[in-house]
Structure 1
């Protein structure tokens, strides 16, 4: 698996985190991504968008209320 591209979407409200992920996934449809979010809505919406496009999503809670979404094919 390639080195994941990190998208730091902490501090952003929806739909910005989803749009950042979709832009990255369009550029690299088989890539691996790490998306950092800081709210439940972004966590759910990015996860849903990724799964809809055939990606697996592995959420990992981090300190400070952050969540790391490990996304890959």
Structure 2
């Protein structure tokens, strides 16, 4: 299954979280790409507050966050 992917690399907070919120309104499952730990932490908090499942993988300083409704 191909997930919709939101590319938030290079964006400063709160923009990655705002894009995550918008994607959550449109998709039950999607991925977000970011390139800093602060964005990972903020998106993780967003997911926790909304009861969403989150899987984070890191490669070469870039993060892929896969988000899904539980």
Give TM-score scaled by structure 2 length. 0.88
Q: CA deviation at 1:41?
A: 0.6
Quote the offset at 1:4 in angstroms: 2.0
2:65 aligns with 69
Contact persistence 1:3–1:32 (CA under 8 A): no
**Structure (1/2) with the larger strand percentage:** 2
Gaps of 5+ in 1: none
**Alignment-derived partner of residue 11 in structure 1:** 10
TM-score, normalised relative to structure 1: 0.85
Alpha-carbon distance, 1:3 to partner:
3.7
Aligned residues: 69
User: How large is the RMSD of aligned CA atoms in angstroms?
Assistant: 1.2
**Unmatched tracts of structure 2, length 5 or more:** none
Moved over 4 A (4+): none
Matching of residues 1-73 of structure 1 within 5 Å: 3-28=2-27, 31-63=28-60, 65-73=61-69
